Amino acid sequence: MKSFDAIVIGGGQAGPFLAARMVERGMKVALIERKFLGGTCVNAGCMPTKTLVASARAAYVARNSAVYGVNIPGEIAIDMKVVRARAETVTMNARNGLIGWFAGMDGMTVIYGHARFEDPKTVSVNGETLTAPRIFLNVGARPVIPDLPGINDIDYLTSTSIIHLDTLPRHLAVIGGSYIGLEFAQMYRRFGAEVSVIEHGPKLASREDEDISDAIADVLRSEGIDIHTGVSDIAFARSSDGITVATDSARIDASHVLIATGRKPNTDDLGLDAAGVITDKHGYITVDDRLATNVEGIWALGDCNGHGAFTHTSYNDFEIAAANLLDGADRKVSSRILAYALYIDPPLGRVGMTEKQARASGRKIMISTRPMSRVGRANERGETKGFMKVIADAETKKILGAAILGIEGDEVIHGIIDAMNAGTTYPALQWSVPIHPTVSELIPTLLGDLKPV
């Protein structure tokens, strides 16, 4: 049996950085990863997909260049092999950077293999037994594959496998109208594929307010994406030239099917029962406000704890754990103000409560909206789709939440994220003097238009 000061299971965006901090403190740490360092973000999520999004946008801009007085003769062709290779290069550079970083750390032992608990202080991997007084789980999540008629008879894609395509689908059917599915839908439409989105719920991006969801659908439809919502029945069958997707309202002749119906935590094969670690009905590891499980000496970080399915929330889990365990702090998950983005184009930047959540809270609220068509920078760039929206507490004057669906919305939202984290009231933010011409300069104006509801 090999003894360590700490064992980290999973090489995502929380555990490895915590391991590095502990090594800096002179601890002996084992980092166990069953496949690739970097987790979903580096290998199958943010980095490769946003690289693909960038290639898709380049194609879109080239096709629409005449609007700007730039004429490109001939057809805009897409070389999917180059597109794929570019995304793969970004991933490999990041992954190899982590490998090199950890290889240079005295006290860090990286082990590739599948770890399982033997008891609360012991794990086995590759036939070896390791023990430590502290064990951190950062095992991530994977795509959910629903049990739909005929699904096992077809060769479907997931968000993990689709990034390796080096040919262009004739017609991509996306099953699931949430964030992952919508990004791939627009991306492949811009590459040149026909695209259909099939969603069980009544609207796309069901977490969002109805006006945001409708605007997202308008953006996608404007680019020729076929959207089907409120679909109750879906079945698949092989056809002579691809896959038939049959719903209660349509029949789609697809060449490829992407299953984008959510993700589930990688907790079902860790031997958690042997350690006594509790999970909820969805398989997420139950943690307290400081990320500790019900078993002393075991913590769960990142996607597997159900407190955020984003790279930035996973990294913040690392920051919370490191601050509490190494720096004598008392940081809590409940102090985190959730923010995220949807990377269609234009992107959606979101922070805090939706309007629906704010109304349900019983607070007296104020709301302001502004179409992007009234934003100078958007008009100058010729990108006026979408709108801004902010919700505030009428009594405390604190900002409760905001959504910016529009050009650079994923960047502009940070002005509001920072204000909310600092506890700044909206009247104080109104007095800032932003730079012109920018999209962010409209935040004080947006706040100035807040009205009670």
- Which residue among 230, 261, 292 closes a domain? 261
Give catalytic residues, as residue numbers.
436
Beta strands in 34-127 (DSSP E): 108-112, 116-119, 122-125
- Residue 372 is part of a domain; what is its CATH number? 3.30.390.30
pLDDT digits (tens, 9 = 90+) for 133-159: 999 999 999 999 999 999 999 999 999
Helix (H, G, I), strand (E, B) or coil at 292: strand
Looking at the fold, whether 115 and 9 belong to one and the same domain comes out as yes
Looking at the fold, whether 412 and 380 belong to one and the same domain comes out as yes
Looking at the fold, whether 387 and 283 belong to one and the same domain comes out as no
Looking at the fold, whether 122 and 164 belong to one and the same domain comes out as no
Looking at the fold, whether 344 and 388 belong to one and the same domain comes out as yes
- Which residue among 312, 335, 358 closes a domain? 335
Report the pLDDT value the prediction gives residue 309, as an integer from 0 to 100: 87
Looking at the fold, whether 122 and 171 belong to one and the same domain comes out as no
- Provide the residue type at 67 as one letter: V
Enter the tokens of residue 3: 């003894």
How many domains does the chain divide into?
3
Spatial CA neighbour of 228 closest among 244, 249, 213: 249
- Provide the residue type at 3 as one letter: S
CA pair distance 422, 283, nearest whole angstrom: 34
Report the pLDDT value the prediction gives residue 166, as an integer from 0 to 100: 96
Looking at the fold, whether 429 and 325 belong to one and the same domain comes out as no
Report the pLDDT value the prediction gives residue 108, as an integer from 0 to 100: 97
CA pair distance 238, 156, nearest whole angstrom: 11
Q: What are phi and psi of 339, to 5 degrees?
A: -140, 150
Spans in the chain with pLDDT lower than 50: none
Looking at the fold, whether 72 and 113 belong to one and the same domain comes out as yes
Report the pLDDT value the prediction gives residue 295, as an integer from 0 to 100: 98
Helix (H, G, I), strand (E, B) or coil at 13: coil
Question: Cβ(35)–Cβ(117) under 8 Å?
Answer: no
- Which residue among 261, 279, 294 closes a domain? 261
Domain that holds residue 368: 339-452
CA pair distance 131, 152, nearest whole angstrom: 40
Report the pLDDT value the prediction gives residue 310, as an integer from 0 to 100: 95
Report the pLDDT value the prediction gives residue 189, as an integer from 0 to 100: 98
Helix (H, G, I), strand (E, B) or coil at 402: strand
**Helical residues (DSSP H) of 64-120, grouped into ranges:** 80-103
CA pair distance 207, 268, nearest whole angstrom: 27
Looking at the fold, whether 257 and 272 belong to one and the same domain comes out as no
Looking at the fold, whether 30 and 163 belong to one and the same domain comes out as no
Looking at the fold, whether 218 and 166 belong to one and the same domain comes out as yes
Give the number of residues written for the chain.
Answer: 453
Looking at the fold, whether 50 and 192 belong to one and the same domain comes out as no
- Residue 205 is part of a domain; what is its CATH number? 3.50.50.60
